[in-house]
Amino acid sequence: MAALLDYEPATGVLTWKSPPPTHPKLLNLPAGSTTTGYVLVKIDGRKYKGHHLAWLLMHGEWPEKEIDHRNGQPMDNRIDNLRLATPAQNQANKARRTGKQFAKGVRLLPSGKFNARIKVKGVLLSLGAFPTELEASDAYMTAARHHYGEFARKD
């Protein structure tokens, strides 16, 4: 890949060093498209995620685990923003979908209390019922930090 692409670690941008023969005008231009929310680079008919290519170009090997974007922004491929992760760690750092009514890991019970819960190793654990959403959210974050460490994410 190093013969085809350049990578700027400070910006996370991949550029064509040797563009596909059908697109010679791409020389020194950013590689890939972003229609999926990730940078995807097509090489020899196969699409590669930009963060995987960045990892390969910086570390000289294909990542043996998933790659997590520390800041939750999948298009930010700066090397300082990338880290190896298990699937569970990667999921723990995933940003919430917009439109959710309550904090991550919190739901309203019919009693009017707020239930905090977290999924660990495929098992949904209830962390208890709390009088306020904030207390339930704090309980979720305490559990998330315990189970996922630096990968715990509040939003």
Question: Encoding tokens for residue 24?
Answer: 């010679």
Both structure tokens of 93: 């750092």
Are residues 79 and 9 part of one domain?
Answer: yes
| pLDDT at 95 > cutoff 80 | no
What is the number of other CB atoms lying within 10 angstroms of the CB of residue 57? 17
Q: Are 108 and 78 in the same domain? A: no
Do 72 and 18 lie in one domain? The reply is: yes
Q: Pairing state of beta strands 46-49 and 66-69?
A: unpaired
Contact 120, 155 (CB under 8 A): no
Residue 20: Cβ-neighbour burial (10 angstroms; 0-12, 13-18, 19+): middle
Q: Are residues 12 and 78 in the same domain?
A: yes
- Tokens standing for 6? 């350049």
Q: Which domain holds residue 118?
A: 91-151
Q: E strand or H helix at 7, and its extent?
A: strand 5-8
| CATH code for the domain in which residue 114 is found | 3.30.730.10
Domain end (from 85, 106, 124): 85
Residue where one domain finishes, among candidates 29, 58, 85: 85
Residues 79 and 101 in one domain: no
CA distances from 15 to 4, 5, 22, 47, 152 (A): 9, 6, 16, 15, 32
pLDDT value at residue 15: 96
Q: Provide the pLDDT confidence category of residue 123 given band limits of 50, 70 and 90.
A: very high
Q: Are residues 47 and 72 in the same domain?
A: yes
- Cα separation, 111 vs 85, in Å, equals 38
Q: Give the chain's domain count.
A: 2
| CB 104, CB 73: distance < 8 Å | no
22 pLDDT exceeds 90? no
pLDDT 10s digits, 23-78 = 889 899 999 998 888 999 999 989 999 999 999 999 999 999 899 999 989 999 99
Confidence band for 94, pLDDT divided at 50, 70 and 90: confident
Give the CB-side neighbour count of residue 135, counting CA atoms within 13 A: 9
> 52 and 120 share a domain?
no
Confidence check: pLDDT of 96 > 80: no
pLDDT reported for residue 99? 65
